[in-house]
Amino acid sequence: MDDMMIGVDLAKNVFQLHGTLRTGEVQFRKKLTRQQFVMFMAQQAPCLVIFEACGGAHYWSREMKSLGHKVKLIAPQYVRPFVKRQKNDAADAEAIVIAARQAEMRFVEPKTIDQQSHAAVFRGRERLVHQRTADVNALRALLHEHGHVFPVGMRYLDRMTALVEDKSADLPPLVREECQDMLAQIAEKTVRITERTAKLKALASQSDTARRLQTMPGVGPMTAVAVEAFGPDMAQFKTGRDFAAWLGLVPKQHSSGGKERLGRMTKAGQADIRRLLIMGAMSRLGWLGRPKIAQGSWLSRMLARKPTMLVAIALANKMARQIWAMLRKNEDYKDPALAVAA
């Protein structure tokens, strides 16, 4: 039954299945528990199984592949237009199959266990950074309530710590104790962030792909691990521009009647890689990076006539295209200026 397609609407405990032939004839509709789903799929001949790219989809993709099935994932926003009037699990499973039959449909590459493991470490560090930032902001707000104002930023944490530890500072005892507890939480999170950072750097040093990516200026261990963990197989993109568009680093279009209208960047796709590429681009445009920019180069000409943030986004777009080329050709970074000179 190689011509069988099974759309699966995933949930925590109950899965809805919709089986059809590739020509569209419905073969079955089933609602199964997790255990029943595994047993049912193990009894099926090799077929095409389609999931929405949601929580648990990558795990189930690996499970279905181990049973001999072919698996495809579809982004939820591409399934939604094919849902008929009523929104329910059965309609969703049917819409998944209908969407998968479209000739121009774009699919999501299932992630490996290593990719998901690296992503978990990366997300864990990001979560700790956000929690520490929230604690620092809460400490600053509490001190503000008692007449002590500090600028925004981690760089001023030492000044806040010195105030809290100063016995002569006019802070009520209970407020001082609360501030000391916040400082202890911040210190504990800083230690954990440092451990996660070291782990990510170690992962980046062990991977040939991450090492290759770090040969590009503005790409460090965090960006390299993010591209490897969250980025799809570059073979699915025909050009580097397609990869940049997937990251949301291209202008939003609202064109009609032959008149082209371009707006802000779309911010579609993977936000972590996009954010890190923009940060890497900004590091190349800062006061430390600017002396290294060759006079008369594309970057220097852009800086002379455009705002810095706009240039950073354009540079991040260019970096995304170069990353695509590096990974497709398995080559280290080559400076365009040096390549032209050669």
| pLDDT tens column, 278-326 | 999 999 898 878 888 888 888 888 888 999 999 999 999 999 999 999 9
Task: Specify whether 137 is located in the same domain as 191.
Answer: yes
Task: Specify whether 281 is located in the same domain as 329.
Answer: yes
**Rounded distance between C-alpha atoms, residue 253 and residue 257, angstroms:** 13
108 lies in some domain: no
Chain segment 60-82, per-residue pLDDT in tens: 999 999 999 999 999 999 999 99
266 lies in some domain: yes
DSSP letter string over 37-52? HHHHHHHSPS-EEEEE
**Domain stops at, among 172, 206, 240:** 206
**Domain stops at, among 175, 206, 237:** 206
Supply the pTM of this predicted model: 0.86
- What is the residue range of 166's domain? 113-206
Confirm if 213 and 259 have CB atoms less than 8 A apart: no
- Looking at the structure of the chain, the number of domains it has is 3
152 lies in some domain: yes
Task: Specify whether 222 is located in the same domain as 330.
Answer: yes
Chain segment 27-63, per-residue pLDDT in tens: 999 999 999 999 999 999 999 999 999 989 999 999 9
Instruction: Provide the b/e sequence for 137-165 (b: ≥16 CB within 10 Å).
Output: eebbebbeeeebeeeeeeeebeebbebbe
Secondary-structure percent of the chain, ordered helix, strand, coil, rounded to 5:
60, 10, 30
Task: Specify whether 138 is located in the same domain as 188.
Answer: yes
Alpha helix (H) ranges present in 207-286?
208-213, 221-230, 240-246, 271-285
Whether 189 has a pLDDT exceeding 60, the answer reads: yes
Task: Specify whether 228 is located in the same domain as 297.
Answer: yes
Task: Specify whether 330 is located in the same domain as 223.
Answer: yes
Task: Specify whether 172 is located in the same domain as 121.
Answer: yes
106 lies in some domain: no
